[in-house]
Amino acid sequence: MSDLIELMRARLAGLAPESLEIEDESAQHAGHEGAKGGGGHYRMTIVSPQFAGLSAVARHRVVYQALGDLMGKRIHALSITAFTPEEF
Query: Does residue 48 have a pLDDT over 70?
Result: yes
pLDDT value at residue 37: 59
Which residues make Cβ contacts (< 8 Å) with residue 76, sequence separation at least 6? 34, 35, 37, 39, 40, 41
Task: With CA atoms as reference, report the closest residue to 18 among 53, 51, 40, 62.
Answer: 51
Mean pLDDT calculated for residue range 46-53: 98
How many Cα atoms within 13 Å fall on the side-chain side of residue 32? 14
Could you tell me how far CA 48 lies from the centroid of its own chain?
13
Which residues make Cβ contacts (< 8 Å) with residue 60, sequence separation at least 6? 80, 82
- Is the model's pTM score more than 0.85? yes
Domains recognised in the chain with CATH numbers: 3-83 (3.30.300.90)
Mean pLDDT calculated for residue range 39-66: 96
Query: Does residue 50 have a pLDDT over 80?
Result: yes
pLDDT value at residue 39: 76
Mean pLDDT calculated for residue range 22-37: 71
Mean pLDDT calculated for residue range 29-52: 79
Confidence label for 10 from pLDDT (cuts 50, 70 and 90): very high
Name residue 5's amino acid: I
